[in-house]
Structure 1
Amino acid sequence: MDELRARIQLLIAERNELAAICVREHREFVDHELERLALLDASINSALNALKFLAPPEPQPSQVPVQINPDYRLVAKAYYDANRDGYKFVSQLVGDYGRWLVTTIAAAEFGGMVLIGNLEGIPWSSKEPALWSLVVGIVLIFSCGLVTYFNWSALAELYDKRNNVNMLVNPDAFPRDDPKLGGRIKFTYVSAIVLGALSVLSIPVAAGILSWLTP
Protein backbone atom coordinates (compact mmCIF):
# COMPACT_ATOMS: atom_id res chain seq x y z
CA MET A 1 0.00 0.00 0.00
CA ASP A 2 2.91 2.36 0.65
CA GLU A 3 4.08 1.81 -2.91
CA LEU A 4 0.58 2.58 -4.19
CA ARG A 5 0.43 5.79 -2.17
CA ALA A 6 3.84 6.80 -3.47
CA ARG A 7 2.67 6.12 -7.01
CA ILE A 8 -0.37 8.35 -6.50
CA GLN A 9 1.80 11.16 -5.18
CA LEU A 10 4.09 10.91 -8.22
CA LEU A 11 1.13 11.08 -10.60
CA ILE A 12 -0.29 14.10 -8.80
CA ALA A 13 3.11 15.81 -8.82
CA GLU A 14 3.45 15.21 -12.58
CA ARG A 15 -0.04 16.65 -13.19
CA ASN A 16 0.71 19.76 -11.12
CA GLU A 17 4.05 20.25 -12.84
CA LEU A 18 2.39 20.11 -16.26
CA ALA A 19 -0.10 22.78 -15.22
CA ALA A 20 2.64 24.91 -13.67
CA ILE A 21 4.66 24.88 -16.91
CA CYS A 22 1.75 26.36 -18.87
CA VAL A 23 1.19 29.01 -16.20
CA ARG A 24 4.85 30.02 -16.19
CA GLU A 25 5.00 30.19 -19.99
CA HIS A 26 1.65 32.07 -20.21
CA ARG A 27 0.26 29.77 -22.85
CA GLU A 28 -2.59 27.34 -23.38
CA PHE A 29 -2.43 23.57 -23.17
CA VAL A 30 -1.67 21.89 -26.47
CA ASP A 31 -3.50 18.76 -27.54
CA HIS A 32 -0.89 16.25 -26.37
CA GLU A 33 -0.75 17.97 -22.96
CA LEU A 34 -4.52 17.73 -22.59
CA GLU A 35 -4.34 14.05 -23.49
CA ARG A 36 -1.58 13.58 -20.90
CA LEU A 37 -3.67 15.35 -18.24
CA ALA A 38 -6.65 13.13 -19.00
CA LEU A 39 -4.42 10.03 -18.78
CA LEU A 40 -2.97 11.21 -15.45
CA ASP A 41 -6.46 11.81 -14.04
CA ALA A 42 -7.56 8.34 -15.10
CA SER A 43 -4.44 6.80 -13.52
CA ILE A 44 -4.93 8.74 -10.29
CA ASN A 45 -8.58 7.73 -10.04
CA SER A 46 -7.72 4.08 -10.69
CA ALA A 47 -4.99 4.14 -8.04
CA LEU A 48 -7.32 5.80 -5.55
CA ASN A 49 -9.96 3.14 -6.13
CA ALA A 50 -7.37 0.40 -5.62
CA LEU A 51 -6.13 2.09 -2.43
CA LYS A 52 -9.67 2.36 -1.12
CA PHE A 53 -10.27 -1.34 -1.84
CA LEU A 54 -7.04 -2.45 -0.14
CA ALA A 55 -7.26 -0.10 2.84
CA PRO A 56 -8.24 -1.62 6.22
CA PRO A 57 -11.76 -0.88 7.47
CA GLU A 58 -10.50 1.37 10.30
CA PRO A 59 -10.79 5.06 9.44
CA GLN A 60 -7.38 6.50 8.69
CA PRO A 61 -6.39 10.06 7.82
CA SER A 62 -5.70 10.44 4.13
CA GLN A 63 -3.69 13.16 2.43
CA VAL A 64 -4.84 12.21 -1.05
CA PRO A 65 -6.52 15.18 -2.79
CA VAL A 66 -10.19 15.10 -3.67
CA GLN A 67 -10.87 13.54 -7.04
CA ILE A 68 -11.83 15.81 -9.92
CA ASN A 69 -14.95 14.92 -11.85
CA PRO A 70 -13.81 13.88 -15.37
CA ASP A 71 -16.62 16.00 -16.83
CA TYR A 72 -15.19 19.12 -15.17
CA ARG A 73 -12.25 19.33 -17.57
CA LEU A 74 -14.56 19.21 -20.59
CA VAL A 75 -16.66 22.06 -19.20
CA ALA A 76 -13.60 24.10 -18.17
CA LYS A 77 -11.97 23.66 -21.60
CA ALA A 78 -15.17 24.70 -23.40
CA TYR A 79 -15.51 27.75 -21.12
CA TYR A 80 -11.87 28.70 -21.65
CA ASP A 81 -12.13 28.42 -25.44
CA ALA A 82 -15.41 30.36 -25.50
CA ASN A 83 -13.81 33.24 -23.58
CA ARG A 84 -10.81 33.30 -25.91
CA ASP A 85 -12.95 33.25 -29.08
CA GLY A 86 -15.34 35.85 -27.64
CA TYR A 87 -12.48 38.22 -26.89
CA LYS A 88 -11.11 37.86 -30.43
CA PHE A 89 -14.55 38.58 -31.89
CA VAL A 90 -15.09 41.65 -29.68
CA SER A 91 -11.63 43.03 -30.51
CA GLN A 92 -12.35 42.72 -34.22
CA LEU A 93 -15.80 44.26 -33.78
CA VAL A 94 -14.44 47.26 -31.85
CA GLY A 95 -11.71 47.74 -34.44
CA ASP A 96 -14.20 47.71 -37.31
CA TYR A 97 -16.52 50.07 -35.40
CA GLY A 98 -13.77 52.62 -34.90
CA ARG A 99 -12.28 52.20 -38.36
CA TRP A 100 -15.49 52.41 -40.41
CA LEU A 101 -18.52 53.71 -38.53
CA VAL A 102 -16.90 56.41 -36.37
CA THR A 103 -14.62 57.55 -39.19
CA THR A 104 -17.47 57.67 -41.73
CA ILE A 105 -19.76 59.70 -39.48
CA ALA A 106 -16.98 62.14 -38.57
CA ALA A 107 -16.04 62.55 -42.25
CA ALA A 108 -19.68 63.20 -43.18
CA GLU A 109 -19.99 65.89 -40.52
CA PHE A 110 -16.72 67.57 -41.50
CA GLY A 111 -17.86 67.49 -45.12
CA GLY A 112 -21.18 69.05 -44.13
CA MET A 113 -19.37 71.89 -42.37
CA VAL A 114 -17.25 72.58 -45.46
CA LEU A 115 -20.29 72.44 -47.72
CA ILE A 116 -22.37 74.78 -45.57
CA GLY A 117 -19.44 77.18 -45.10
CA ASN A 118 -18.94 77.48 -48.88
CA LEU A 119 -22.60 78.10 -49.72
CA GLU A 120 -23.07 81.45 -51.42
CA GLY A 121 -26.04 83.70 -51.16
CA ILE A 122 -26.96 82.48 -47.65
CA PRO A 123 -26.36 84.84 -44.71
CA TRP A 124 -24.03 83.78 -41.89
CA SER A 125 -26.87 84.00 -39.39
CA SER A 126 -28.56 81.10 -41.23
CA LYS A 127 -25.38 79.02 -41.53
CA GLU A 128 -24.15 79.37 -37.96
CA PRO A 129 -26.80 77.24 -36.15
CA ALA A 130 -26.39 74.43 -38.71
CA LEU A 131 -22.60 74.54 -38.31
CA TRP A 132 -22.92 74.36 -34.52
CA SER A 133 -25.18 71.32 -34.91
CA LEU A 134 -22.44 69.56 -36.87
CA VAL A 135 -19.77 70.63 -34.35
CA VAL A 136 -21.85 69.03 -31.59
CA GLY A 137 -22.15 65.92 -33.76
CA ILE A 138 -18.36 65.72 -34.17
CA VAL A 139 -17.83 66.05 -30.42
CA LEU A 140 -20.40 63.31 -29.84
CA ILE A 141 -18.83 60.87 -32.32
CA PHE A 142 -15.36 61.39 -30.85
CA SER A 143 -16.84 60.81 -27.39
CA CYS A 144 -18.46 57.68 -28.77
CA GLY A 145 -15.05 56.42 -29.96
CA LEU A 146 -13.52 57.12 -26.55
CA VAL A 147 -16.31 55.30 -24.71
CA THR A 148 -15.95 52.39 -27.13
CA TYR A 149 -12.27 52.19 -26.20
CA PHE A 150 -13.22 52.09 -22.50
CA ASN A 151 -15.67 49.29 -23.28
CA TRP A 152 -12.94 47.31 -25.05
CA SER A 153 -10.48 47.86 -22.18
CA ALA A 154 -13.10 46.58 -19.70
CA LEU A 155 -13.60 43.49 -21.86
CA ALA A 156 -9.83 42.99 -22.00
CA GLU A 157 -9.71 43.16 -18.19
CA LEU A 158 -12.53 40.62 -17.98
CA TYR A 159 -10.72 38.25 -20.34
CA ASP A 160 -7.48 38.65 -18.39
CA LYS A 161 -9.25 37.59 -15.20
CA ARG A 162 -10.76 34.57 -16.93
CA ASN A 163 -7.62 33.61 -18.86
CA ASN A 164 -6.29 31.30 -16.16
CA VAL A 165 -5.10 27.96 -17.51
CA ASN A 166 -5.02 26.63 -13.95
CA MET A 167 -8.81 26.39 -14.11
CA LEU A 168 -8.41 23.43 -16.48
CA VAL A 169 -7.08 21.25 -13.66
CA ASN A 170 -8.19 23.05 -10.48
CA PRO A 171 -11.89 23.82 -9.83
CA ASP A 172 -10.88 26.39 -7.18
CA ALA A 173 -9.26 28.48 -9.94
CA PHE A 174 -12.50 28.67 -11.97
CA PRO A 175 -13.30 32.38 -12.68
CA ARG A 176 -15.82 34.14 -10.46
CA ASP A 177 -18.32 36.75 -11.64
CA ASP A 178 -17.36 40.40 -11.10
CA PRO A 179 -20.59 42.50 -10.91
CA LYS A 180 -18.67 45.78 -10.87
CA LEU A 181 -16.75 44.97 -14.04
CA GLY A 182 -19.91 43.65 -15.69
CA GLY A 183 -21.65 46.95 -14.90
CA ARG A 184 -18.82 48.90 -16.52
CA ILE A 185 -19.09 46.81 -19.68
CA LYS A 186 -22.87 47.30 -19.96
CA PHE A 187 -22.70 51.03 -19.20
CA THR A 188 -19.98 51.78 -21.77
CA TYR A 189 -21.72 49.58 -24.36
CA VAL A 190 -25.05 51.43 -24.03
CA SER A 191 -23.31 54.83 -23.83
CA ALA A 192 -21.41 54.21 -27.08
CA ILE A 193 -24.65 53.32 -28.90
CA VAL A 194 -26.47 56.41 -27.58
CA LEU A 195 -23.60 58.79 -28.42
CA GLY A 196 -23.27 57.35 -31.91
CA ALA A 197 -27.01 57.69 -32.58
CA LEU A 198 -27.08 61.30 -31.32
CA SER A 199 -24.10 62.15 -33.50
CA VAL A 200 -25.84 60.81 -36.61
CA LEU A 201 -28.95 62.86 -35.75
CA SER A 202 -26.91 66.05 -35.86
CA ILE A 203 -26.67 65.75 -39.67
CA PRO A 204 -30.43 65.89 -40.46
CA VAL A 205 -30.85 68.47 -37.68
CA ALA A 206 -28.25 70.70 -39.35
CA ALA A 207 -29.98 70.28 -42.72
CA GLY A 208 -33.37 71.11 -41.19
CA ILE A 209 -32.04 74.20 -39.42
CA LEU A 210 -30.41 75.47 -42.62
CA SER A 211 -33.57 74.87 -44.64
CA TRP A 212 -35.75 76.55 -42.04
CA LEU A 213 -33.57 79.67 -41.68
CA THR A 214 -32.83 80.12 -45.40
CA PRO A 215 -35.15 82.71 -46.88
Structure 2
Amino acid sequence: MSKVLLATTNAKKLVELQRILDAALGAGRVELTSLTDVPDYPDVPETGLSFGENALLKAREGARRTGLPTIADDSGLAVDALNGMPGVLSARWSGRHGDDRANLQLVLAQLADVPDEQLGASFVCAAALVLPSGREHLVDGRQPGRLIRSPRGAGGFGYDPIFVGDGTSSTNAELSPEEKDRVSHRGIALRALAKVLAKELPTLPS
Protein backbone atom coordinates (compact mmCIF):
# COMPACT_ATOMS: atom_id res chain seq x y z
CA MET A 1 0.00 0.00 0.00
CA SER A 2 1.37 3.40 -0.99
CA LYS A 3 1.08 6.33 1.41
CA VAL A 4 -0.07 9.63 -0.08
CA LEU A 5 -0.47 12.97 1.65
CA LEU A 6 -3.63 15.00 1.13
CA ALA A 7 -2.61 18.58 1.84
CA THR A 8 -5.58 19.58 3.97
CA THR A 9 -6.76 19.51 7.57
CA ASN A 10 -10.37 19.07 6.39
CA ALA A 11 -11.45 15.64 7.65
CA LYS A 12 -14.44 15.58 5.27
CA LYS A 13 -12.15 16.04 2.27
CA LEU A 14 -9.95 13.19 3.49
CA VAL A 15 -12.91 10.81 3.76
CA GLU A 16 -14.22 11.97 0.38
CA LEU A 17 -10.92 11.43 -1.43
CA GLN A 18 -10.27 8.07 0.21
CA ARG A 19 -13.73 6.94 -0.92
CA ILE A 20 -13.08 8.13 -4.48
CA LEU A 21 -9.63 6.52 -4.66
CA ASP A 22 -10.91 3.23 -3.27
CA ALA A 23 -13.66 3.18 -5.89
CA ALA A 24 -11.30 4.08 -8.72
CA LEU A 25 -8.22 2.06 -7.76
CA GLY A 26 -9.54 -0.64 -5.44
CA ALA A 27 -9.53 -0.58 -1.64
CA GLY A 28 -6.18 -0.94 0.04
CA ARG A 29 -3.95 0.40 -2.74
CA VAL A 30 -3.48 3.89 -1.33
CA GLU A 31 -3.40 5.02 2.29
CA LEU A 32 -4.17 8.70 2.67
CA THR A 33 -2.78 10.84 5.45
CA SER A 34 -3.56 14.51 6.08
CA LEU A 35 -1.81 17.56 7.48
CA THR A 36 -3.24 16.79 10.92
CA ASP A 37 -0.74 13.91 10.99
CA VAL A 38 2.20 16.20 10.14
CA PRO A 39 3.59 18.04 13.19
CA ASP A 40 4.44 21.74 12.99
CA TYR A 41 3.16 22.13 9.45
CA PRO A 42 2.70 25.84 8.67
CA ASP A 43 -0.19 27.23 6.69
CA VAL A 44 0.60 27.61 3.00
CA PRO A 45 -0.73 30.97 1.77
CA GLU A 46 -3.07 30.54 -1.20
CA THR A 47 -1.54 33.37 -3.22
CA GLY A 48 -2.35 31.98 -6.66
CA LEU A 49 -4.75 33.76 -8.98
CA SER A 50 -6.35 30.51 -10.13
CA PHE A 51 -7.50 27.25 -8.62
CA GLY A 52 -4.70 25.42 -10.43
CA GLU A 53 -1.98 27.70 -9.09
CA ASN A 54 -3.20 27.27 -5.52
CA ALA A 55 -3.49 23.48 -5.82
CA LEU A 56 0.07 23.24 -7.11
CA LEU A 57 1.40 25.56 -4.38
CA LYS A 58 -0.05 23.32 -1.67
CA ALA A 59 0.96 20.04 -3.31
CA ARG A 60 4.54 21.19 -3.92
CA GLU A 61 4.94 22.27 -0.32
CA GLY A 62 3.55 18.98 0.99
CA ALA A 63 5.90 16.91 -1.13
CA ARG A 64 8.87 19.09 -0.16
CA ARG A 65 8.19 18.95 3.57
CA THR A 66 7.20 15.30 3.93
CA GLY A 67 8.83 13.47 1.05
CA LEU A 68 5.44 11.91 0.27
CA PRO A 69 3.49 12.05 -2.98
CA THR A 70 1.07 14.87 -2.26
CA ILE A 71 -2.41 15.63 -3.53
CA ALA A 72 -3.93 19.06 -3.05
CA ASP A 73 -7.01 20.68 -4.44
CA ASP A 74 -8.40 24.15 -4.61
CA SER A 75 -12.04 24.55 -5.35
CA GLY A 76 -14.83 27.00 -5.05
CA LEU A 77 -18.03 28.51 -6.33
CA ALA A 78 -18.17 30.66 -9.45
CA VAL A 79 -21.41 32.66 -9.62
CA ASP A 80 -22.39 34.09 -13.00
CA ALA A 81 -24.05 37.21 -11.55
CA LEU A 82 -20.94 37.92 -9.46
CA ASN A 83 -18.61 37.72 -12.47
CA GLY A 84 -17.25 34.34 -11.39
CA MET A 85 -16.74 35.23 -7.76
CA PRO A 86 -16.24 34.17 -5.00
CA GLY A 87 -13.91 31.93 -7.06
CA VAL A 88 -10.54 31.37 -5.41
CA LEU A 89 -11.81 33.40 -2.43
CA SER A 90 -14.72 31.01 -1.77
CA ALA A 91 -13.41 29.62 1.53
CA ARG A 92 -12.79 33.12 2.95
CA TRP A 93 -15.46 35.16 1.18
CA SER A 94 -16.84 36.52 4.45
CA GLY A 95 -13.35 37.39 5.72
CA ARG A 96 -12.92 34.33 7.96
CA HIS A 97 -11.38 31.25 6.36
CA GLY A 98 -13.58 28.18 6.51
CA ASP A 99 -16.69 29.84 8.00
CA ASP A 100 -19.12 28.00 5.75
CA ARG A 101 -22.27 29.55 7.18
CA ALA A 102 -21.01 33.13 6.97
CA ASN A 103 -19.70 32.63 3.43
CA LEU A 104 -22.99 31.14 2.25
CA GLN A 105 -25.07 33.88 3.85
CA LEU A 106 -22.93 36.61 2.32
CA VAL A 107 -23.33 35.17 -1.18
CA LEU A 108 -27.11 34.97 -0.73
CA ALA A 109 -27.20 38.57 0.53
CA GLN A 110 -25.21 39.75 -2.48
CA LEU A 111 -27.69 38.01 -4.80
CA ALA A 112 -30.83 39.27 -3.06
CA ASP A 113 -31.81 41.55 -5.97
CA VAL A 114 -30.80 39.13 -8.73
CA PRO A 115 -33.75 37.38 -10.46
CA ASP A 116 -34.00 33.63 -9.92
CA GLU A 117 -33.43 32.91 -13.59
CA GLN A 118 -30.02 34.62 -13.35
CA LEU A 119 -28.65 32.52 -10.49
CA GLY A 120 -26.46 30.32 -12.67
CA ALA A 121 -23.28 29.08 -11.02
CA SER A 122 -20.65 26.38 -11.20
CA PHE A 123 -18.52 24.53 -8.72
CA VAL A 124 -14.92 24.40 -9.97
CA CYS A 125 -12.04 22.24 -8.74
CA ALA A 126 -8.38 21.93 -9.65
CA ALA A 127 -6.51 18.93 -8.20
CA ALA A 128 -2.74 18.50 -8.25
CA LEU A 129 -0.43 15.56 -7.62
CA VAL A 130 3.22 16.35 -6.94
CA LEU A 131 5.74 13.55 -6.48
CA PRO A 132 8.93 13.79 -4.41
CA SER A 133 10.84 13.47 -7.70
CA GLY A 134 9.34 16.80 -8.76
CA ARG A 135 6.96 15.36 -11.35
CA GLU A 136 3.64 17.24 -11.36
CA HIS A 137 0.13 16.59 -12.63
CA LEU A 138 -2.85 18.95 -12.67
CA VAL A 139 -6.46 18.17 -13.57
CA ASP A 140 -9.72 20.03 -13.19
CA GLY A 141 -13.43 19.41 -12.86
CA ARG A 142 -16.57 21.53 -13.14
CA GLN A 143 -20.17 21.02 -12.04
CA PRO A 144 -22.59 23.52 -13.64
CA GLY A 145 -25.86 24.39 -11.96
CA ARG A 146 -27.73 27.15 -10.17
CA LEU A 147 -28.20 28.61 -6.72
CA ILE A 148 -31.32 28.61 -4.58
CA ARG A 149 -32.38 31.17 -1.98
CA SER A 150 -32.58 28.95 1.11
CA PRO A 151 -30.19 26.19 2.21
CA ARG A 152 -31.44 22.59 1.94
CA GLY A 153 -29.85 19.38 3.13
CA ALA A 154 -27.52 18.30 5.92
CA GLY A 155 -24.72 16.68 3.90
CA GLY A 156 -21.65 18.06 2.22
CA PHE A 157 -20.03 21.32 3.25
CA GLY A 158 -19.32 24.82 1.99
CA TYR A 159 -21.92 26.08 -0.46
CA ASP A 160 -23.45 22.63 -1.06
CA PRO A 161 -26.79 23.50 0.65
CA ILE A 162 -27.58 26.27 -1.87
CA PHE A 163 -26.26 24.64 -5.06
CA VAL A 164 -28.42 22.53 -7.39
CA GLY A 165 -26.50 20.83 -10.18
CA ASP A 166 -27.80 20.59 -13.72
CA GLY A 167 -30.05 17.58 -14.24
CA THR A 168 -31.28 17.33 -10.66
CA SER A 169 -33.64 19.08 -8.27
CA SER A 170 -31.57 18.22 -5.20
CA THR A 171 -28.90 20.39 -3.67
CA ASN A 172 -25.45 18.86 -3.30
CA ALA A 173 -26.13 18.74 0.43
CA GLU A 174 -29.17 16.50 -0.19
CA LEU A 175 -27.25 13.94 -2.23
CA SER A 176 -25.76 10.80 -0.73
CA PRO A 177 -21.95 10.76 -0.64
CA GLU A 178 -21.90 8.34 -3.57
CA GLU A 179 -24.33 10.44 -5.61
CA LYS A 180 -22.31 13.57 -4.94
CA ASP A 181 -19.04 11.85 -5.91
CA ARG A 182 -20.52 10.99 -9.33
CA VAL A 183 -21.46 14.56 -10.26
CA SER A 184 -19.44 16.99 -8.16
CA HIS A 185 -16.57 19.11 -9.42
CA ARG A 186 -14.25 17.49 -6.88
CA GLY A 187 -15.40 14.00 -7.75
CA ILE A 188 -14.78 14.65 -11.47
CA ALA A 189 -11.33 16.13 -10.84
CA LEU A 190 -10.24 13.49 -8.34
CA ARG A 191 -11.37 10.60 -10.54
CA ALA A 192 -9.21 12.07 -13.30
CA LEU A 193 -6.34 12.38 -10.83
CA ALA A 194 -6.89 8.80 -9.64
CA LYS A 195 -6.17 7.61 -13.19
CA VAL A 196 -2.90 9.52 -13.13
CA LEU A 197 -2.08 8.15 -9.68
CA ALA A 198 -2.75 4.60 -10.89
CA LYS A 199 -0.02 5.03 -13.52
CA GLU A 200 2.37 6.41 -10.92
CA LEU A 201 1.74 3.75 -8.26
CA PRO A 202 4.41 1.30 -9.53
CA THR A 203 7.01 4.06 -9.02
CA LEU A 204 5.94 4.93 -5.48
CA PRO A 205 7.39 3.41 -2.29
CA SER A 206 5.00 1.19 -0.31
TM-score normalised to the size of structure 1?
0.23
Structure with greater Cα Rg? 1
TM-score normalised to the size of structure 2?
0.24
The one of the two structures with greater contact order (alpha-carbon pairs below 8 A, sep at least 6) is 1
